[in-house]
Structure 1
Amino acid sequence: MVENSSRNAVVTGASSGIGAATVRALRAHGWNVVAVARRADRLLALAAETGAIACPADISKDDDVARLRSNVTDAFAQFGGVDTVINIAGGARGVDPVGSASVQDWEWMYQVNVLGTLKVIQAFLPELRAHGRGTVLNLTSTAGLVAYEGGAGYNAAKFGQHALNNALRLEEAEHNVRVIEVAPGLVHTEEFMLNRLGGDKEAAAKTYQGVAEPLLPEDVADVVRYAVELPQHINLDQIVVRPVAQAAAHKLIRNP
């Protein structure tokens, strides 16, 4: 932990990709960070690297979220309590059309992207209100703004998370809790497409084939860090971040 830091964040989805990069970015700027993810081994390695506090937890499970809240309260007690909650955890499963989509995949995506985000927010919202200068940042996706073929399940989950974000901003402005949405487009991470495509490495690699400069997790983490470090009276309601090669959801430049 960094002594006497006045910025205290919880970051979910911290075992890889954008979540891990966000922990690194915040720690490099002197934040106190509790890093949250299901995979304890990866989380502990990140904590050893960065000095963050590891808290293994599954945000879809009520008992885990309750334990997370208790651990965060204890960890940040001497620093004035948590002031920033960053929900990175999420994911996609499958690319099937609606007519043949797996209900189980849809349920998993809704559970992780929407209900998991909800549970984490509910756990920490009382403390963010009491702090008087709280921030919630939810990582959604451009998939929550524009639907596409084969993406309906992920679209539905991210549209839901996007709606949650907008309603929360309206509800919490009177408590001086700002609510930020970061919606990335194509980001080349080690696991997102691999998990979505059931572990098919070849198919996952084709997602990025020919794209000269897709976004990297560190790019998105820099945007997240910038947004939460702005003065409290500034709220970046929604930040859409894409690589230049992705002019829109339907237009992606691929080199031969």
Structure 2
Amino acid sequence: MPKTRLSRQAAAVITGAGSGIGRAFALELAARGGRVVCSDIDIGQAEATVELIECAGHGKARSIGCDVTRLEDVERLAGAAEAWFGGPADLVINNAGVGAGGDRIGELSMADWQWVMDINFWGVVHGCHVFAPRLRAAGRGGMINVASTASFAAAPRMAVYNASKAAVLALTETLAAELADTPVRVTALCPTFVQTNIMRSGRISASSSKLADNLMRWTGVPAERVVQSALAGLDRGQLYVLPQADARLVWRLKRLLPSSYTRGAGLLDRFARRNAAPADLASTTPE
């Protein structure tokens, strides 16, 4: 078991730090004495996270605007972070992501496929491409890539989100293998429902949004708990962190009974839609 606790006094870079899991990571790492670069495409939200850290009186933070879909933005982020830290980051958290769902394959627009993959997948690719060589050269530190239980659950009407997160999981596993001969640790965070604003900020049909809101209310956990589990897993050198019981159940079912699991997921989706009120089945996309 690794002895170094990377989550303490870390020089950390977090993408998507303006809200949700990203903000929770920033607050938690700062509370543990860290110096945190809060990056977000919405610089105002990133600055709000920095203000929360400063008001709490723990750690240090600065905000940097970054569009993770642009490689040059991520390269600039790495350079600015190193200048502020006085050296390379100890910890990189590729968290920026969006939600999408509600339409079947063949109905979801190509524009939505492109939008989600650009942020959820290419954003993490850019983060790994830029920061992994720096961590390797430093011979220390860690990286957390925020995937999802969707990366292996393959729920119907969530194709683009599932595919984007499955790609993040495969990328993370590959990176962990490539860094296995170094002290650098790599963790994939795979939560289920977390109490964030991803449903409101994503592109999700009305019926799926209603179901997701209900599931969020019934089973969603605070982002702080998910973050604490992720950091504990990183400190232990875990590749996979599945912070909720339902995530661990799906993980086991999918591997023990893959065909039965897939058929069951389809039947549950059809049952839910047959029993939904007509008004709930209107397919609209949030702005």
Do the structures match in fold with TM over 0.5? yes
CA 1:209–1:94 in 2, change beyond 3 Å: closer, same or farther? closer
Match of 1:20 in 2: 23
**Structure 2: distance between partners of 1:214 and 1:220:** 10
Unaligned runs of 5+ residues in structure 1 are 252-256
CA 1:156–1:212 in 2, change beyond 3 Å: closer, same or farther? closer
Contact between 2:99 and 2:204, CA under 8 Å: does it hold in 1?
no
Deviation at 1:138, TM superposition (A): 0.6
Match of 2:89 in 1: 82
Which of residues 182, 190, 194 is equivalent to 1:183? 190
SS at 2:190's partner residue?
Answer: strand
Within 5 Å, give how 1:45-124 maps onto structure 2.
45-50=48-53, 51-77=60-86, 80-124=87-131
Match of 2:132 in 1: 125
Contact between 2:74 and 2:127, CA under 8 Å: does it hold in 1?
yes
Find runs of 4+ consecutive structure 1 residues off by over 6 angstroms. Answer: none
**Structure 1: distance between partners of 2:100 and 2:214:** 20
SS at 2:67's partner residue?
Answer: coil
Backbone CA RMSD of aligned residues: 2.4
Match of 2:198 in 1: 192
CA 1:42–1:199 in 2, change beyond 3 Å: closer, same or farther? farther
**Structure 2: distance between partners of 1:195 and 1:142:** 19
**Structure 1: distance between partners of 2:146 and 2:83:** 26
**Structure 1: distance between partners of 2:29 and 2:109:** 37
**Structure 1: distance between partners of 2:190 and 2:100:** 18
Deviations 1:37-62, CA, capped at 9 Å, x for gaps: 11111111211221411111101112
CA 1:158–1:203 in 2, change beyond 3 Å: closer, same or farther? closer
Give, as a single letter, the amino acid of the residue that structure 2 aligns with 1:18.
I
Normalized against structure 1, the TM-score is what? 0.85
Identical positions, percent: 30
Which deviates more, 88-97 or 8-17? 88-97
Match of 1:208 in 2: 213
**Structure 1: distance between partners of 2:222 and 2:153:** 21
Match of 1:226 in 2: 232
Larger Rg, first or second structure (1 or 2): 2
Deviation at 1:179, TM superposition (A): 1.0
Unaligned runs of 5+ residues in structure 2 are 1-7, 54-59, 252-264, 269-287
Deviation at 1:114, TM superposition (A): 1.4
**Structure 2: distance between partners of 1:139 and 1:160:** 11
Contact between 2:100 and 2:202, CA under 8 Å: does it hold in 1?
yes
Contact between 2:190 and 2:247, CA under 8 Å: does it hold in 1?
no
The number of residue pairs the alignment matches comes to: 239
